[in-house]
Structure 1
Amino acid sequence: MDRILLIEDDLDLSEMLVEYLVSENFDVIPVYDGEQAKVELSNTFDLILLDLMLPRTSGIDVLKFIRQHTFLPVIILTAKSSEQDKTIGFNLGADDYMVKPFSLIELSARIRAQLRRSQKYSTIKQSDIVKVLTYKDLSIDFTSFSVKKDKEKIALTKKEFEILTLLVSNQGTVFSKARMYELVWKETYYGEENIINVSINRLRKKLSKNSQDEYIKTLWGIGYTMEEITK
């Protein structure tokens, strides 16, 4: 049975979600503020449902904490519906975003979709995975989901890590914004240019303080690529 951590301070909504998700054969552990969530994260879960407006510690800070410790799928549940709020959530590592009020049936479907992706990845034989990728002075370690530049660790969000991995694994290939969005966010692209632009810009700044194009090249009107390095 898949185990879900529900971080929601609205007691009535939390109770309703627990009751419904248990009826859908999920094991649900509810907590009601950010500090409780941090403590509970020492236990094992398969997925996290996270409200952004929490007491004591904000949902954004909880999401940052989560991504420092785990790559579990995170679905944000919030009343915040602006593009800016969604962009912040995705750039900090959220896997999905649902605006309240939402359909319980749709929530269950999205949970199962995230679990399928997560479990499919976790069942890949480790012997079939390249554990470390290198590009120039960058080293990408898939066992620890970490990136180092000249042996100094760079803190990336989940999406930044996935974008970098996509480009390094396919050197010389140009990815349009639509293709990159579909491969990294696993959703149909409907012109979410701002999400892609912000993610690429933040990744570039973390990788290089000197040149924005040192690693990721922009082909205007086409997309993004990393130049192929011949050995």
Structure 2
Amino acid sequence: MEKVLIIEDDELIAELERDYLEAGGFQVEIALDGTTGLQKAQTEEYGTVVLDVMLPGKNGFEICRELRRNQDLPIIMVTARREDVDKIRGLGLGADDYMVKPFSPAELVARVRSHIMIHQRLLERKEGRKPTQLLMGNLKILPEERRVFLGEEEIALANKEFELLLLMAQNPNIAFSKETLFNRIWGMDSVGATDTVTVHINRLRQKLERNSASPRMIETVWGVGYRFKINV
């Protein structure tokens, strides 16, 4: 069972997030101030940290900066502040995602699960484990060879198109925000993320979908971003 650390000074919000995450199958610990939260994150193992920005002791930006010096666990920053500059700053410091309050606790659970799965995939690559081919209907992806087939036809994809498709296909039915996709594939903060991700998604749909205007494989999740859909 993956363990999640919530660093949040509002106890009611922290408990609500904990309840949803525990219902989603996660083990959860709470720290109500920045100093305690940083200490726990540095001395214990967590699958993800859900990090509020405005905290007593150390604020979320300081904690994110400290953690990124020697840890690569997923960090999801949350805040009531809606200014883009805060979002850009958090992502620039190494946060994997950024959510603005109020948000759906169910969406938080989905994002935590998504980031843990992505992180596990990255660890597998670093450890040299060979990913198997991905087969979904008539779509076949060969990660090691970086090749994609629809039936017997090989589909030519640009590098970023392939990486975008592979990331979503390895995490089917999970909705990714455009910011998360941009950060994961391009490896930088999300300035310009919306246009860049949208363009690449449209190209993938044109190459992979029978009707790109009514996609069945790469779906738009309104208010969130995109997901690679398979029937389960």
Identify the TM-score tier after normalising by the shorter chain. 0.5 to 0.7
User: Residue 185 of structure 1: CA displacement?
Assistant: 5.6
Go from structure 1 to structure 2 and tell me whether the alpha carbon gap of 1:120 and 1:127 turns closer, same or farther (over 3 Å shift).
closer
Secondary structure of the equivalent of 2:194? coil
- Amino acid across the alignment from 2:185: L
* Matched residue, 2:96: 95
* Matched residue, 2:143: none
1:14 aligns with 2:14: yes
- Amino acid across the alignment from 2:88: T
* Matched residue, 1:184: 186
Q: Percent identity?
A: 33
- Amino acid across the alignment from 2:39: V
* Matched residue, 1:34: 34
Aligned 8 A contact 1:4 1:49 in 2? yes
Go from structure 1 to structure 2 and tell me whether the alpha carbon gap of 1:128 and 1:2 turns closer, same or farther (over 3 Å shift).
closer
RMSD over aligned Cα atoms: 2.6
User: Residue 127 of structure 1: CA displacement?
Assistant: 4.2
Go from structure 1 to structure 2 and tell me whether the alpha carbon gap of 1:10 and 1:183 turns closer, same or farther (over 3 Å shift).
same
- Amino acid across the alignment from 2:59: S
Matched residues in 1 for 2:19 and 2:111: separation? 17
Secondary structure of the equivalent of 1:123? helix
User: Residue 68 of structure 1: CA displacement?
Assistant: 1.2
1:24 aligns with 2:24: yes
User: Residue 24 of structure 1: CA displacement?
Assistant: 0.9
User: Residue 121 of structure 1: CA displacement?
Assistant: 1.2
Aligned 8 A contact 2:34 2:58 in 1? yes
User: Residue 20 of structure 1: CA displacement?
Assistant: 1.4
* Matched residue, 2:137: none
- Amino acid across the alignment from 2:36: Q
Go from structure 1 to structure 2 and tell me whether the alpha carbon gap of 1:191 and 1:25 turns closer, same or farther (over 3 Å shift).
same
Alignment of 1:173-212 (within 5 A): 183-184=185-186, 189-191=193-195
Alignment of 1:114-193 (within 5 A): 114-124=115-125, 126-127=127-128, 183-184=185-186, 189-191=193-195
Matched residues in 2 for 1:180 and 1:77: separation? 18
The normalised TM-score by structure 2 is 0.57
Task: Show structure 1 runs of 5+ residues with no match.
Answer: 130-165, 167-178, 193-231
Show CA shifts across 1:20-45 (max 9, x none).
11111100110011110121121111
Show CA shifts across 1:17-70 (max 9, x none).
111111111001100111101211211111100000000111111111111120
Matched residues in 1 for 2:109 and 2:89: separation? 24
Go from structure 1 to structure 2 and tell me whether the alpha carbon gap of 1:191 and 1:182 turns closer, same or farther (over 3 Å shift).
farther
- Amino acid across the alignment from 2:193: Y
Matched residues in 1 for 2:72 and 2:115: separation? 12
Matched residues in 2 for 1:33 and 1:56: separation? 6
Secondary structure of the equivalent of 2:63? helix
Paired positions, count: 144
Task: Show structure 2 runs of 5+ residues with no match.
Answer: 131-162, 164-180, 197-232
Aligned 8 A contact 1:46 1:115 in 2? yes
User: Residue 191 of structure 1: CA displacement?
Assistant: 3.9
* Matched residue, 1:45: 46
* Matched residue, 2:2: 2
Aligned 8 A contact 1:95 1:185 in 2? no
Secondary structure of the equivalent of 2:111? helix
- Amino acid across the alignment from 2:105: L
* Matched residue, 1:81: 82
Matched residues in 2 for 1:88 and 1:6: separation? 20
Go from structure 1 to structure 2 and tell me whether the alpha carbon gap of 1:78 and 1:185 turns closer, same or farther (over 3 Å shift).
farther
